Amino acid sequence: MPHVEKGMAVGLFGGSFNPPHAGHALVAETALRRLELDQLWWIVSPGNPLKDHSGLATLRERIALSLACVTDPRIKVTAFEAGYHIRYTADTVDLVRQRNPGVHFVWIMGADSLRTFHRWERWRRIAHSVPIAVIDRPGSTLSFLSSTMAKAFDHARIDEADAPLLARTRPPAWTFIHGPRSSLSSTALRAQAQRKEVRIRTGGEAGDDAPS
C-alpha cells in the first residue's frame, strides 16, 4: 500500500486493467486534476468477480503494463488487494480507511462502471463509506441520470464545479466529471489481439489489424 500522510486527498482507481490503456490513464489524470488530489492509487485487482477470468493476464503482466501507462509520479500503481486476498471493492475501501486514518479517500471510476455499480457487492455500503467521482467515458455520459446508483443517491450528487471539495465531503457524496474521453476499451483491445493471433496462426499478415 503506497505511503500517504494525514490530511492528503487520495483517489482510489481500481480495476482488472486487462489490459491497461491510454483511456485508463486519461481517467486517472482527469481525476488528479479536477479533484485536486495529492495522490491517485492505480489498484490492479486480482480479478473482477463480475467478469470472466479465462482471458485474464497475470497480475505481474498487468502491473508492468500499468506502470508503462503512467507518467505522473503522483499516480501509484499497486496490487495490495492480492496480498490481503481481497475480492470486493467494499473490503478494499474498509481496509484503506482503517490503515490510513486522517487521509481523505475518494473512489474513482469510469462512467461505464456506474451503469453496473448496483451489481457490486455491498454497493450501498461503498457509497456510504467513501465519496465517489465518476469520470465520463464514451457512450456512458447519460449514466449519471439513468443508472440505479445515480437514482438512489441523487440527493448526494454535488455539482461538478465543486469537485475539488469531494474528497473532504462526508459520504454519501458523488459527482460526475465531464472532459476529454478516450474510445479505447480493454474488451476491444483483447478482441483485437485475439484476431491478430488467429491471423498469424492461419498465415495472415500481422499488420492486417493496423488502423488505417
Higher pLDDT, 191 or 163: 163
Higher pLDDT, 143 or 30: 30
Higher pLDDT, 113 or 194: 113
pLDDT of residue 204: 57
Say if residue 194's pLDDT is above 70: no
**Residue ranges covered by each domain of the chain:** 9-203
90's grid cell: 467494499
CA 143, chain centre distance (Å): 16
pLDDT of residue 50: 60
Asked whether the whole model's pTM tops 0.85, one would answer no
Q: What's the average model confidence in pLDDT over 34-42? A: 98
Most confident range (mean pLDDT) of 81-90, 132-141, 176-185, 190-199 is: 81-90
**Mean pLDDT value across the chain:** 85
Most confident range (mean pLDDT) of 86-95, 143-152, 190-199, 202-211 is: 86-95
pLDDT per residue as tens digits for the range 116-162 = 999 999 999 999 999 999 998 765 556 667 899 999 999 999 999 99
- Spatial strand order of the sheet with 39-44 comes to 75-78, 39-44, 9-15, 104-110, 132-135, 174-177
Architecture of domain 9-203: 3-Layer(aba) Sandwich (3.40)
Q: What residues are paired with 78 via a beta bridge?
A: 43
The rounded distance, in Å, linking the Cα atoms of 129 and 106 is: 9
